[in-house]
């Protein structure tokens, strides 16, 4: 009877130790995955004016023949979010509520400008359907060529001095918010910020080894 009890206790401890090992291995693997799966920011493209460049000053007409200036700074201290879209782009439509919410949350310090290709159709219906009449809605192929926009939706964040602070393809709310996060952190993109952080970690680790 005693031998059987001891054997069962030993077996129980073996099971407990095995479970502890499994939990440790899983926790370690989760940590590795956490390091590998970095926050995804807007996809920065290589063409057109780059982050840190002065935005080309362009004056174009909007859908209602009003003159709209893009670039060149803003005397009211506002940033400009230039958002390239199309009435036929489904992703663009899903981001419109976020765009309007972001603009409203900036307390008048963000100017939201929509831009599309004049060759496309259905703009007036699109503006009416999504309540965009209060924002400048520019029809200009020239603007798209200036920023070399190849995929939609595409956004460019320009500060009040006319300097490009962030840009890229924005397919999600997180992508859009990453433009403002990059500007706040003083980097070209969230990816750059992560890489710089990794570089500092490696340098610290190297210093510690010395």
Over residues 132-191, the pLDDT tens digits come to 999 999 999 989 999 999 999 999 999 999 999 999 999 999 999 999 999 888 887 776
C-alpha 70/C-alpha 147 separation (Å) is 12
Residue 43: closest CA among 153, 184, 162: 153
- pLDDT, residue 37, reads 35
Lowest mean pLDDT among 1-5, 114-118, 126-130: 1-5
Over residues 29-72, the pLDDT tens digits come to 544 433 333 445 677 777 899 999 999 999 998 988 889 999 98
Coil, strand, or helix at residue 92?
A: helix
Which pTM does this prediction carry? Answer: 0.74
Pair of tokens at residue 43: 């996809």
- pLDDT, residue 38, reads 43
Residues 6+ apart with CB under 8 A from 11: none
Residues 6+ apart with CB under 8 A from 93: 130
Average pLDDT over residues 71-93: 94
Which of 34 and 124 is assigned the larger pLDDT?
124
pLDDT band with cut points at 50, 70 and 90 for residue 6: low
Residue 4 pLDDT greater than 90, yes or no: no
């Amino acid at each position: 009877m005693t031998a059987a009890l001891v054997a069962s206790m030993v077996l129980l401890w073996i099971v407990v130790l095995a479970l502890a090992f499994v939990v440790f291995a899983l926790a370690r693997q989760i940590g590795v995955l956490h390091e590998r799966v970095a926050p995804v920011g807007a996809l920065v493209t290589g063409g057109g004016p780059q982050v840190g460049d002065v935005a080309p000053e362009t004056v174009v007409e909007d859908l209602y023949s009003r003159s709209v200036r893009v670039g060149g700074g803003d005397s009211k201290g506002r940033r400009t979010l230039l958002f390239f879209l199309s009435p036929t782009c489904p992703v663009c439509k899903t981001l419109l509520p976020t765009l309007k919410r972001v603009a409203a949350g900036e307390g008048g310090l963000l100017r939201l400008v929509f831009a599309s290709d004049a060759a496309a159709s259905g703009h007036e219906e699109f503006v009416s359907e999504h309540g965009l009449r209060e924002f400048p809605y520019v029809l200009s192929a020239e603007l798209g060529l200036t920023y070399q926009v190849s995929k939609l939706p595409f956004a460019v964040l320009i500060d009040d001095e006319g300097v490009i602070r962030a840009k890229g393809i924005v397919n999600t709310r997180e992508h859009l918010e990453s433009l403002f996060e990059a500007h706040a952190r003083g980097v070209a993109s969230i990816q750059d910020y992560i890489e710089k952080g990794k570089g500092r970690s490696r340098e610290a680790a190297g210093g510690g080894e010395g």
